Chains A and B, each alone.
Chain A
């Protein structure tokens, strides 16, 4: 063979972003939105923003792992475009590649064209949930996750099972574990050690400010956070009070819906958002603080989530406007700190949780808050932009990819030689712990601040 046709079907001279005529695919052609239905499909204008430059590739965790175009942000947007034109169905490869996205939003940070991949993904996932029948096993597993994690009571029960189980688990179980389907094994191995007392402890509904009052902060206590990382909530309350805030933690608060929202379970997320908005409206707070990156990120988006609901749009906007990550709240007080910091001599490595760094663009605040502790030397992590593999429920749904990313992150953390790892998301802590168990203490940044204010050694640091 010596000669070949060399160009596409119609060698026009379009140079940038020329449109290829869509092939006729009657079998998959839907309405105006191709393979998507008309309920908030990915918007054409948002898809058009992508110029295919590829700047997102190196920061995408799945592209870092596999180097395959379909598992990159650019590739996924390309798939969305194809689906939008009706050239490919949602079922099959499309769903596979969208499912593999961690939703870490590193690509949003990297994109020079301002492509809002977060909005594209949040528009796409519900389409899949609505239209793509999942296998029985997959469906049951997903249902199990969403029947467990957003419910504190159920989590507590599970944590007790887990706590006992972790103590009693015989060595012989390891063999059994090795044979479990990888997703179940992944879920099992993520269960952190938890003290029964902590799992059942409650944050007081109201904690008064110490000294002159700055204002009234409502605290989202979270689901996983409150059960598995209760000491983080306790530390948060102490720091806020020490810095002059009244802390209100409404007892009736329930899950913010972040896990479901990020997995495309829109109706569920909408209901949870409304409930939470109502709860905090009653609490009459100036600021709504959270110490969970994932929750903060979705609560800040309530405005968009409820934009189409006239009864709720305004209330959601007002709520979202009050939401702050705990590091933002503390950072604002640094100019006029109330509580003296005691030194903590330690080399600290800070891991940017994706939902804090990429989704909320909060990177300097937690660093400033940490640097304000005398004695702390902050070191930066190589490949800092890369997700640790936790990504909400990703490490349960895509355990192999999550495992590769977790090991990679662990290796990078190890390489820094730091004394302690801090990160502002329970998911990251659970995930990283799995690959660095016992190697170094892992804390939420607020726990270091709390220890510094109280003049005690931070937990786990002896």
Chain B
């Protein structure tokens, strides 16, 4: 347990106002974007640079304390929820853009830099940072690394892992290593790629070098309304079959549009059953030719309206309508759960039909916002806590995620496993799969002090679901341990 002398060590180590110990301050950090999971930490520290981070981690090591690195706290899987008796290391004071290297098209960043700030800083040079999660104005690059964030444009441009070249990482013992290298070419195993998406369980990233891309010559966006979800889904299929790789293909259903339109006035057609936002980018002539093809496909599937914003401002407005959709759902329902599952794109229609059935059976409304191009669904289960619908909503949401796995997909496309879905991991991975992941974890962090209790199912967390999980043979043999 933390005592006053230990707190003093942290205070001595860190710059002014670098340690939070008062109850109100600590409670402010008890949850991230997923407020259902809460835990008051023993201490919150706010280091100002990588040295202070490493120092704080070393102190945690010295006293055997677990710790959780935290960025903007926008995660939707409880990945940054603190650990009891543990330390929260907030990286919100490490916000410097250390370098925009125009010549080599790279940016060197501290982990607390907001995703959108990277593109803003690169814009004067005709460059940008491709991954653009919906929360890009607030989520940080450190959090993006932890979650391997994607975004609307990852269909064409890939995820964080495809754009991070190099990282400075503080390991659980406080030592500092560099993973990756100055180019995609690396000698030896790709530890960089292993670290990205490990949800803070392998160490704390203190510096990130990312690739910057040239701003495409032409961007064309269409907002297309469809008479049915199926028609919209078929449109996406035909676009893929036509060998067009759009920068983004997003789908929203009428409920999601109703909420978003109320929040943003983005120009969505509220009573349309479905809409697609499709964006093409690249060299002018190619884009124009493909765009023509694309709108023809939309029309063939009975698109009831094609809105083609011409000005950048108008385009941003359409995107705002999409990106604000999650949070905006708060306007049409007192409570809601955001789900994040993935299915192979060709099974979209099937999964949507099943979700609609499940929603009817549970007597709950489900709004759908999703990345149609890559099959990443975000069903929003609407419910009322006050009306006692919480448990039913929770069950429906979990069932939807596991349905995605059943259809050959994944539990999570971008929000991560965190605390929220750890117990569903056995639906997707065998004991052996999880056992091997855990062995890797222990190689980085033998005492499991980096963000314990996340990602891996634990008996304590999942004990209420007997039959889902049994001790792994390696665990029984003492090779691995679970918390």
Contacts and interface: CB of A to CB of B under 8 A. Distances in A.
A70 B335 CA distance: 24
A198 interface: no
A56 B33 CA distance: 12
Contacts of A88: 23-24, 27
Contacts of A111: 327
Contact of A79 (B28, B35, B326, B460): B28
A66 B483 CA distance: 34
B410 interface: no
A311 B255 CA distance: 42
A11 B264 CA distance: 36
B330 A15 contact: no
Contact of B327 (A3, A11, A53, A67): A53
Contacts of B327: 51, 53, 55, 111-113
Interface stretch (A17-25, A186-194, A252-260): A17-25
A55 B34 contact: no
Given A1-B65, A4-B452, A7-B453, A16 B338 contact: yes
A55 B22 contact: no
Contacts of A1: 63-65, 447, 449
B235 interface: no
Nearest to B338: A16
Interface residues of B, number: 74
A15 B138 contact: no
A441 to B, nearest CB: 27
Given A67-B112, A94-B24, A16 B36 contact: yes
Interface string B23-48: 11101110111111111000000100
A16 to B, nearest CB: 5
A458 interface: no
Most chain-B Cβ atoms within 10 A of its Cβ — which of A13, A17, A66, A111?
A13
Contacts of B226: none
Contact of B324 (A5, A11, A19, A112): A112
A4 B82 CA distance: 12
A53 B114 CA distance: 14
A14 interface: yes
Nearest to A45: B334
Contact of B448 (A2, A7, A57, A82): A2
A58 B458 contact: no
B129 to A, nearest CB: 16
Contacts of B297: none
B448 to A, nearest CB: 7
A30 interface: no
A110 B84 CA distance: 32
B225 to A, nearest CB: 22
A448 to B, nearest CB: 24
A135 interface: no
Nearest to A4: B66
Interface string B107-132: 00000101000001000000000000
Given A16-B36, A93-B24, A68 B92 contact: yes
A97 B25 CA distance: 10
A16 B72 contact: no
A1 B448 CA distance: 10
B308 interface: no
Interface in B420-435: 420, 423
A5 to B, nearest CB: 5
Nearest to A50: B330
Interface in B62-89: 63-66, 72-74, 81, 83-86
Given A52-B31, A55-B327, A15 B397 contact: yes
Given A6-B452, A11-B460, A75-B28, A19 B138 contact: no
B337 interface: yes
B263 interface: yes
A114 B330 contact: yes
Contacts, number: 177
A6 B20 contact: no
Interface in B440-483: 447-449, 452-453, 458, 460-461, 464, 481, 483
A48 B200 CA distance: 30
B385 interface: yes
A16 B92 CA distance: 24
Nearest to A74: B73
A37 interface: no
B372 interface: no
Contacts of B31: 52
A13 B394 contact: yes
A365 interface: no
Nearest to A69: B28
Nearest to A12: B36
B483 A6 contact: yes
Contacts of A11: 460-461, 464
A73 B135 CA distance: 16
Contacts of A92: 24
B149 interface: no
B28 A49 contact: no
A interface residue count range (under 10 / 10 to 19 / 20 to 34 / 35 or more): 35 or more
B10 interface: no
Nearest to A8: B39
Contact of A112 (B17, B28, B66, B264): B264
B439 interface: no
Given A2-B447, A6-B458, A7-B460, A114 B452 contact: no
B53 to A, nearest CB: 14
A401 B386 CA distance: 40
Contacts of A51: 33, 35, 327, 330
A408 to B, nearest CB: 13
Given A2-B481, A70-B24, A112-B263, A55 B46 contact: no
Most chain-A Cβ atoms within 10 A of its Cβ — which of B35, B38, B66, B460?
B35
A435 interface: no
B36 A17 contact: yes
B90 to A, nearest CB: 7
Interface in B1-32: 17, 20, 22-25, 27-29, 31-32
Interface in A31-52: 48-49, 51-52
B438 interface: no
Contacts of B376: none
B137 A113 contact: no
A67 B113 CA distance: 11
Most chain-B Cβ atoms within 10 A of its Cβ — which of A15, A58, A70, A78?
A15
B336 interface: yes
A88 B24 CA distance: 7
B341 to A, nearest CB: 13
Given A8-B39, A11-B460, A17-B335, A3 B135 contact: no
Contacts of A7: 37, 39, 81, 84, 419, 453, 460-461
A15 B36 contact: yes
B354 interface: no
B31 to A, nearest CB: 7
A109 B49 CA distance: 31
B347 interface: no
A49 B264 CA distance: 16
Interface of B: 17, 20, 22-25, 27-29, 31-39, 46, 63-66, 72-74, 81, 83-86, 90, 92-93, 95, 112, 114, 120, 135, 137-138, 262-264, 324, 326-328, 330-331, 334-338, 385, 390, 394, 397-398, 419-420, 423, 447-449, 452-453, 458, 460-461, 464, 481, 483
Given A15-B337, A55-B137, 4 more contacts: A7-B453, A8-B81, A11-B464, A111-B327
30 contacts: A5-B460, A6-B483, A7-B37, A7-B81, A7-B453, A7-B461, A8-B38, A8-B39, A12-B36, A13-B394, A14-B37, A14-B394, A15-B337, A17-B36, A17-B385, A18-B390, A54-B74, A55-B74, A55-B327, A56-B138, A66-B17, A67-B90, A67-B95, A78-B28, A79-B24, A112-B264, A113-B263, A113-B327, A113-B330, A114-B262
> Which 3 residue pairs across A and B have the least CB separation, nearest first?
A6-B453, A67-B92, A1-B64
